[in-house]
Amino acid sequence: MAATALPDTLGADAVALLRDLIRINTVNPPGNERAAQEMLRDLLSEAGFECDLLCMEPDRPNLVARLRGREPGPSLALICHVDTVPAEPSEWTHDPWSGDLEGDYVWGRGALDMKDQVASEATACLALARSGWRPARGDLLFVCTADEETGAHKGAQYLCSEHPDKVRCEMVVNEGAGVAIDYDGKRFFTVAVGEKGVFRFHARTHGIAGHASLPAVGDNALLKIAPLLERLREQPEPEATPDTLAFLETLLGEAPSDLRGALAEIRDKNQLLGDLLASPMLGVTLTPTMASGSGKINVVPSMAQVAVDCRVPPELGEDDVRKRIRAVLGDNGYDIEFIETVVGNRSDFGGPLAEAIAEWVDEVEPGAQVLPLVMPGFSDSHWFRKAFGATVFGFCPQNAMTLDEAVPLVHGADERVATADVALMANCFFELPRRVLGE
Ligand SMILES: [Zn+2]
């Protein structure tokens, strides 16, 4: 069979679908993803996909679309989420739900997170199915989830636990990375191979309650929180994982001799790259976000607490985290209660999907390299690794918009995406399934 040709209108089709998706308000909460999911389902069913809308709540369906292969084999899922974070129209120069096209950009909430990827994955799937292409082995899945922005309880987490047979797959492409970055004269396309775990906790101090008119009586727990907060100006010592070392070695061209030095060098050449990508990868981070003491202004608190958002390299557990906390806060004078613990997970960057991504990068930008990294944040990738041991990469390529241009717009005002990037994404999602699943 001859190789399936890339349709000329692929980029324009993806841009048109993106504009339609932005015009459907899917701000979560409440989400209301149904209209968007039904539009995608109708398009994909007509092109030959078997589609299911699976939901925990009637207005919050997840779409699972499957294009069956000719033989059994490992399946590939292109996943995405159609909900967005809120937007405050008065802060925007374009209406957040206009889908306006101006200055080579599509404007609107979700343009970068992540209706761009929804539209380009769906457009690529439609073009593949309409051309008559079917996987030689394994199935191609398009899974568009609801409820990612508020924790995926009704989205990916629900699909993987309640409908595993519908979404079981061996390889997954999701959001998380893909922006091309220039460093030291070289160009890299980032690929997310893992996400950090989340270990949120309260650090508490204790004292003796008393009347606030008599400060010498009682023992004020709030005053004991202050030194803990002061210590939290420091982060735990940088530490390396195999992913971090691979990242630094690829970026710097050699294995780093010391981590602090490597980080300083990266920051020196590209501050944003250092702060956004390199620094959070180098270990556990501790960020205090809330503090409280007495419930009444005239009562000396017997207990005070600070809430800390703690992010942890993949595969490290509670004992590891406690050690890092003690190294910063000391051994005594407080106690710790974890309020949320999720061990992060990761995939080895290898196998057919990794090869297909690297090959594609080399074709669109000869000489550019793939740069695997671990994301500081959390994504739906987690659930697919956990449920099926799938190889999951975050990859949505962009080379028109730079990292410093895109980052402030995600969850911010005037979110927009370059039409050239939407076309690049559609090209990628058209090519990957054929390379991974066969012509
Ligand atoms: Zn997202």
The pLDDT of residue 5 is: 85
pLDDT in tens, 380-429: 999 999 999 999 999 999 999 999 999 999 999 999 999 999 999 999 99
Summarize the confidence of residues 37-66 as an average pLDDT.
Answer: 97
CB atoms within 10 A of CB 104: 12
Ligand 1 center from residue 328 Cα (angstroms): 32
CA of 149 to the centre of ligand 1 (A): 7
Q: Do β-strands 62-67 and 140-145 pair in parallel, antiparallel, or remain unpaired?
A: antiparallel
Q: Report how far ligand 1's centroid is from the alpha carbon of 76 (Å).
A: 20
Ligand 1 centre from 173 Cα, in Å? 13
Return d(Cα 10, Cα 12) in angstroms, integer. Answer: 6
Distance 81 CA to ligand 1 centre (A): 7
Compute φ and ψ for 432, nearest 5 degrees.
-60, -50
* Residue 113 CA, ligand 1 centroid: distance in Å: 5
Judge whether residue 1 has pLDDT over 80: no
Q: CA 366, 183, 261, 196: dihedral to nearest 10 degrees?
A: -80
**Whether the Cβ atoms of residue 306 and residue 288 lie closer than 8 Å to each other:** yes
- pLDDT tens digits, residue range 2-49? 567 889 999 999 999 999 999 999 999 999 999 999 999 999 999 999
pTM above 0.85, yes or no: yes
Q: How far is the CA of 280 from the centre of ligand 1 (A)?
A: 19
pLDDT reading at 329 higher than 90: yes
CA of 211 to the centre of ligand 1 (A): 49
**Beta partners for residue 64, in sequence order:** 52, 143
Question: Ligand 1 centre and the CA of 379: distance in Å?
Answer: 7
CA of 194 to the centre of ligand 1 (A): 15
Alpha carbons 15 and 307: distance in angstroms, whole number? 42
Residue with tokens 């995939």: 347
Q: Are 55 and 153 spatial neighbours (Cβ–Cβ below 8 Å)?
A: no
The whole-number pLDDT of residue 3 equals 67
Confidence of residue 152 (pLDDT cuts 50, 70, 90): confident
Question: In this predicted model, what pLDDT tens digit does every residue of 252-302 receive, in sequence order?
Answer: 999 999 999 999 999 999 999 999 999 999 999 999 999 999 999 999 999
Q: How far apart (Å, rounded) are the C-alpha atoms in residues 109 and 411?
A: 8
Query: From CA 237, how far away is CA 282, in angstroms rounded?
Result: 8
Q: How far is the CA of 377 from the centre of ligand 1 (A)?
A: 10
Distance 111 CA to ligand 1 centre (A): 10
Q: What is the pLDDT of residues 155-193, one digit of tens each?
A: 999 999 999 999 999 999 999 999 999 999 999 999 999
- Report d(CA 438, CA 324) in Å as an integer: 46
Q: Is the pLDDT of residue 369 over 70?
A: yes
- Residue 4, pLDDT score: 79
Report how far ligand 1's centroid is from the alpha carbon of 349 (Å).
22
- 3-state SS track over the chain: CCCCCCCCCHHHHHHHHHHHHHHCCCECCCCCCHHHHHHHHHHHHHHCCEEEEECCCCCCCEEEEEECCCECCCCEEEEEECCECCCCHHHCCCCCCCCCEECCEEECCCCCCCHHHHHHHHHHHHHHHHCCCCCCECCEEEEEECCCCCCCCCCHHHHHHHCHHHHCCCEEEECCCCEEEEECCEEEEEEEEEECEEEEEEEEEECECEECCCCCCCECHHHHHHHHHHHCCCCCCCCCCHHHHHHHHHHHCCCCCCHHHHHHHHHHHCHHHHHHHHHHHCCCEEEEEEEECCCCCCEECCEEEEEEEEEECCCCCHHHHHHHHHHHHCCCCCEEEEEEEECCCECCCCHHHHHHHHHHHHHHCCCCEEEEEEECCCCCHHHHHHHHCCEEEECCCECCCCHHHHHHHCCCCCCEEEHHHHHHHHHHHHHHHHHHHCC
Q: Are 320 and 266 in contact (CB under 8 A)?
A: no
CA of 110 to the centre of ligand 1 (A): 8
**HSE (side-chain half, CA atoms, 13 Å) at 211:** 2
**Tell me, what's the pLDDT at 130?**
97
The pLDDT assigned to 126 comes to 98
The Å distance, Cα 436 to ligand 1 centre, comes to 24
pLDDT digit string (tens) for 187-237?
A: 999 999 999 999 999 999 999 999 999 988 889 999 999 999 999 999 999
Q: From ligand 1's centre to the CA of 174, what distance in Å?
A: 9
Output the CA 207–ligand 1 centroid distance in Å. 43
